Structure 1
């Protein structure tokens, strides 16, 4: 089932309600096992610090934040696009932190966010996108199903909540 939603490109994180919703989104993702740099339970200072960092990146102009909202205006998910600023990389960007509230998963939100981030990248003159995901995570088959190509694997890239090192899979997509 695909739900009705809208996608917005957010340039600042000054809106208090949006900021609270984004913090709740990160907490929901981490607490449901997403490998996004943090371990559950997510402490409040990490939620603030993460989105403070994103706010700083947005103000620099080389970072984009796309959010998906339902028909009632509630936040459903987000994704980020980090634009390479080096002269030899002006054609590429990295997709980061695709997050969807657990209660809205399997409704097409992630697919719509990925399509929107790809359209945004194209509009910014980017023709190559890269991303990484935890090996064995649900993201791996999702990215393959949406046209991303596996580029390789980095062993022991992250230490997860179980204390063990885990591999990450690198993907790319030519637009």
Structure 2
């Protein structure tokens, strides 16, 4: 599934990647992750994040995609060889939660921020989750910019957990929990 939105003035192409495509694009995916961590994003890694660790992470994601446990969505802009952003839907849930998915790791390279790419990625993820039979998505986020985005997209704030994780520089930071019910189309 591919979505093109010229209104963003980015000419993005947003689509899910297969496990093989993840492996083929591992350098570009790793560059996004390294950039986000260097920019202070709390996405599970401490700074400095080297490309070897980032590549190992994406190899694990490729295995998860191949197993049908998650969907990785990538955004390409303006014909660039490297992706500008990604988001994931974790499909693999406990047997009593087959209707639920987790929105995870919304990553937009700093060169492509504040131009609507995050919104386009989340909206695409919501549509793909719906197509996969999910009726509820949940996420956690440690960033105020991301919180504003999720609120604008109709996500419901469920609570805040102080000291949930460390920022890449080692400071403890809280996280906010959001959810969104997905109406059938």
Please confirm whether the aligned pair reaches a TM-score higher than 0.5, indicating the same fold.
yes
In the alignment, the residues of structure 2 paired with residue 37 and residue 16 of structure 1 have an alpha-carbon distance, to the nearest angstrom, of: 21
Mapping 1:77-92, distance limit 5 Å: 77-92=85-100
Residue 36, structure 1, aligned to residue 43, structure 2:
yes
Q: Which residue of structure 1 lines up, in the alignment, with residue 79 of structure 2?
A: 72
User: Which runs of no fewer than 5 residues in structure 1 stay unpaired?
Assistant: none
User: Which runs of no fewer than 5 residues in structure 2 stay unpaired?
Assistant: 1-6
Q: Which residue of structure 2 lines up, in the alignment, with residue 127 of structure 1?
A: 135
In the alignment, the residues of structure 2 paired with residue 79 and residue 73 of structure 1 have an alpha-carbon distance, to the nearest angstrom, of: 18
Normalising to structure 2: TM-score of the pair? 0.87
Whether the 8 Å contact between 1:13 and 1:19 is mirrored in structure 2 is no
Distance 1:25 1:158, change over 3 A: same
Whether the 8 Å contact between 1:31 and 1:42 is mirrored in structure 2 is yes
Residue 46, structure 1, aligned to residue 50, structure 2:
no
In the alignment, the residues of structure 1 paired with residue 69 and residue 24 of structure 2 have an alpha-carbon distance, to the nearest angstrom, of: 24
Q: CA offsets per residue over residues 29-63 of structure 1, 9 Å max, x none? A: 11111111112221222112211211121121021
- Tell me whether 122-131 or 66-75 shows the greater mean CA deviation: 66-75
Aligned length: 174
- Tell me whether 93-102 or 157-166 shows the greater mean CA deviation: 157-166
Output the aligned Cα RMSD.
Answer: 1.7
